[in-house]
Chains A and B, each alone.
Chain A
């Protein structure tokens, strides 16, 4: 079964009360649990907001990436799915979309 990388870009959580945030968290946890229970979860990590960017033309290492907040990748998952349609269907269940976050789905080319 192929593996897919899910890149989760910034969600929008401002304006939610503590109670609402707990409910949101519980949705995320439930989605993640389902992945594990189904044996699809290979990895999942949160990424530090600041990092480094290596730029080729000037061959420099600079602080960054200072991408626009909504493009910044906040975390990723590696999951097993039979095809893109299935990977998309699984991703649709992630609450990230509900909170205006974007999920980019890329298949890892098998070899």
Chain B
């Protein structure tokens, strides 16, 4: 009976279901085997549906996480009996379930870090393509649905579903197991993990639409997993701190990237007083830790660039020369056209728009940039700074078909209108 008990939990912690889902999927995948991660997900799904059906009548239990774990355990035992794939292993698995899932100890904070770390490394097995790695991670470790993942990547649900089918096939064919890599494999695997987290964060950061809040969640998940990693003995390296620092600097700005109407705001227009100072402080702590040791990765450079933006009181007062130097370092590590594009923005602030335009003209034939909306958009901005509204308008028009989301499109259209006002 639901009583008017004042001690009852009033509200759930944000993302509790997703957080616990990801932890319990990790534990169950460890027990069921990597090839059965979908069964682990089924267990968790049924558990949460039960909570959904029950708690409106009973109220939220005193320890919601403990309740979820207990019910998940019961569901797991149930699925153990029903599925042929577990025949002959029932007793062993039941025992593992009993040992590892202790509801009394489980609360809002407990996170099964070992199992999550193992899953993190397993998802990044070299047998998978990077797309599979990202998708597997989002599905199993971040408890996102196929629909949510497809929205995040602006692609079809069927694309994501098929990718998971292929990934499962690969798990079976190559007998990929839920386990930590061997000592000699840890270093390259860790690099893959960092790359995948980087991709995940970038996807989340690219645009944060009003409806597409899932993208902000990708950033949060990347931060959560990177934090988990940095707290482990294998992952506690300067480059992990560098990546986490970068994530924190970028995420500090997330809430100012759109105005209240959902319009996109670029760096010059963002209200810096609204940047998350706590995230920036944490970012600096990790930046400090990343500077220990000899290794100097692109994450170090990008974190350094982000830190210079974070401390600048305004766009104009930013230390552009230092940023330019950092981009020169980044080019030595990664001479990609996108890095060159970003460098040109810094160059324009140091040497003026024309210098940047000249550099960018050399990149006109690049295939990657040809489909990247910020390339013509940047050229447009630079011509606008030189007062050439006509050329700017031409470039904005070229940008329009390349935009991927409504806020991006709306932003470019606004700029185009401003140019066309003679």
Contacts and interface: CB of A to CB of B under 8 A. Distances in A.
B interface bracket (residues with beta carbon within 8 Å of A): 20 to 34
Interface stretch (B9-17, B180-188, B263-271, B322-330): B9-17
B interface majority secondary structure? helix
Contact of A46 (B12, B15, B54, B60): B54
A26 interface: yes
Interface string B50-68: 0111111110100000000
Contact of A17 (B16, B51, B60, B148): B148
Given A18-B143, A19-B15, A19-B143, A29 B57 contact: no
B147 interface: yes
B1 to A, nearest CB: 8
B289 to A, nearest CB: 31
Contacts, number: 73
A13 B21 contact: no
B48 A46 contact: no
B21 A18 contact: yes
B261 interface: no
Interface string B133-153: 000000000011101100000
30 contacts: A11-B53, A13-B49, A13-B52, A14-B45, A15-B145, A16-B145, A18-B18, A18-B20, A18-B48, A19-B17, A19-B148, A19-B217, A20-B148, A21-B17, A21-B48, A21-B52, A22-B12, A22-B15, A22-B17, A25-B55, A25-B56, A26-B11, A26-B12, A28-B52, A32-B56, A44-B56, A46-B53, A46-B57, A74-B53, A75-B57
Interface of B: 1-2, 4, 11-12, 15-18, 20-21, 44-45, 48-49, 51-58, 60, 143-145, 147-148, 217
Given A18-B143, A22-B12, 4 more contacts: A20-B148, A24-B52, A28-B55, A29-B11
